[in-house]
Homo-oligomer: A and B are copies of this chain.
Amino acid sequence: MKNRKSKYETFREKIKIILYGTNTILGRMFDLVLLGLILLSVLLIMLDTVEGISQKYHEQLLICEWAITVFFTIEYILRIISIQKPIKYIFSFYGIIDLLAVLPMYLSIFFPGASILSIVRALRFFRLFKILHIPQISHQSAQLKDAIEASKEKILVFIYFVLISTVIIGSVMYLVEGKESGFTSIPMGIYWTIVTLTTVGYGDISPQSPLGQFIAALVMILGYGIIAVPTGIVTAEFAKNTLKNNTVSGKKTCRKCQSQLHFDNAKYCYECGTQLPNN
């Protein structure tokens, strides 16, 4: 009995290395196959919505989707079985996505049309970084994340102000232009304001009266200055990160001689050679 258990254990161990490991050849190969299948699956779901293709190849596409879904299901079950703490995996970010990637297909048995929700499989692409495990890239994406994180609050405050402005501008445009020009309601006016301030400018709604066009021109020039703000925020954060290693921010103090003028990436005090603390 112990022997059999041990066999199962070895099997579990092997599965775990293949599924979670990125160091062995087998683990890496499985990851690449997985990525390929995710890409294939996302493309198939997309193509199935294109009328010309769907009419001709719907059956073949459906079979492929089911095959990939079954594969993903087995993979999901094996991931739960092989890991020590299955609960932790199930409720992790990747665990939830892995489940969401297979659920819609099974739901489509009862609710036809649900299969299209399988497109959330696209989120599994995020795993690429884990798989590739190139330190340079994960460093880059960490830097990206840091800069965005640091500027998040400022940008939120900024968007809050912009949103209040859009309500006011949208209402003014609704009053000035009226229903003939497509400004059928205040929410429509707000939609137009956002389309204009972000410089997207579809042109599905556009002011027709001279006064409306004058206000629109003012809004665009305002948007000109406004678009500079989030860019400025993010750029300043990037510049800070990029310049960090070259600056003397005075955050490091030598424990021995108490000198402060150390570079941020300095390891030893330039006065007495004592090792400096990491921040």
Interface residues of A (CB under 8 A from B): 42, 45-47, 49-51, 116, 119-120, 122-123, 125-126, 128, 136-137, 140-141, 143-144, 147-148, 153-155, 157-160, 162, 164, 167-168, 171, 174-175, 184-188, 190-191, 194-196, 198-204, 206, 210, 213-214, 216-217, 220-221, 223-225, 227-243, 245-250, 258-261, 263, 265-266, 270
CB of A38 to closest CB in B, whole Å: 11
Task: Give bound CA distance, A123 to B194, whole Å.
Answer: 17
Contact of A168 among B123, B155, B175 (CB under 8 A): B123
Closest chain B residue to A247, Cβ basis: B246
Count this chain's copies in the assembly: 4
17 additional A-B residue pairs with CB within 8 Å, beyond A49-B186, A191-B217: A46-B167, A50-B185, A140-B157, A162-B221, A194-B221, A195-B201, A198-B199, A199-B200, A231-B235, A235-B239, A236-B242, A237-B242, A246-B248, A248-B248, A258-B270, A259-B270, A261-B270
Question: Given A49-B185, A204-B206, A249-B246 in contact, is the A140-B154 Cβ separation under 8 Å?
Answer: yes
CB of A27 to closest CB in B, whole Å: 22
Q: Is the CB of A154 within 8 A of B144?
A: yes
Most B Cβ at <10 Å: residue of A153, A202, A206: A202
Task: Give bound CA distance, A198 to B225, whole Å.
Answer: 10
Q: Is the CB of A186 within 8 A of B46?
A: yes
In the A-B complex, the 4 residue pairs with the smallest Cβ-Cβ separation, listed nearest first, are A202-B203, A200-B201, A236-B238, A232-B234
- B residues less than 8 Å from A190 (CB atoms): 46, 217
Closest chain B residue to A235, Cβ basis: B232
